Amino acid sequence: MKIDIRLNSEKDTEKLANIIANEVFPGMIIGLSGDLGSGKTTFTKYLAKSMGIKDNLNSPTFTILKTYEGKLNLYHMDVYRLEDIGYDYELDDFIYGEGVAVIEWYPYIKTMLPNQILSLTFSFVDEFTRDVSIEGSDQYEEIIQKISH
């Protein structure tokens, strides 16, 4: 299932993150893609906040992975620099862990991922507006249906 939505403000990004945060489950994988500055980390900050994580979240661009503890742990990865070498970083424990894995630039390690993930692709419209394509199947279809309503 795939839907396209428009986020007209950062508040809309927060609302999207809230909807998804209410549906998280152990082992959930959220793949994010889109141009630099299109909203991937902003979405993840709001997701973490909605999951009850108190830590200040920032992009793991240079560290590859940051973990945040909560009722469900959040594993925030930025794999931009790992194209075709992701296996060298032993990320499986986090991708297939009991927390929620949020993977920015996920297509770079797509071969490491299961077939079933929730994929969000952010696109610029203007300074404040983003279009987001949201795609997933099986257990992710219910989440997408809640987003579309």
Q: Which of 71, 133, 76, 138 minimizes the C-alpha distance to 103?
A: 76
Q: Which CATH number does the domain housing residue 21 bear?
A: 3.40.50.300
Distance CA 58, CA 105 (A): 15
pLDDT score at 64: 84
**42 within 8 A of 130, measured Cβ to Cβ:** no
Q: Which residue type sits at 97?
A: G
> Domain span at residue 12?
2-148
| Size of the chain in residues | 149
- Distance of alpha carbon 49 from alpha carbon 84, whole angstroms: 32
Identify the pLDDT of residue 83.
Answer: 64
Instruction: Put residue 138 in one of left, alpha, beta given phi > 0 → left and psi -120 to 50 → alpha.
Output: left
Answer whether 0.75 is exceeded by the pTM.
yes
Distance, CA of 53 to CA of 46 (rounded, Å): 10
Number of domains in the chain: 1
Q: Residue 124: phi, psi to the nearest 5? A: -70, 140
Instruction: Encode the chain (149 residues) as per-residue pLDDT tens digits.
Output: 999 999 999 999 999 999 999 999 999 999 999 998 899 999 999 999 999 999 888 776 667 889 999 999 999 999 887 765 545 567 888 999 999 999 999 999 888 899 999 999 999 999 999 999 999 999 999 999 999 98
Q: Give the pLDDT of residue 50.
A: 96
Cα 38 from Cα 3, distance rounded (Å): 18
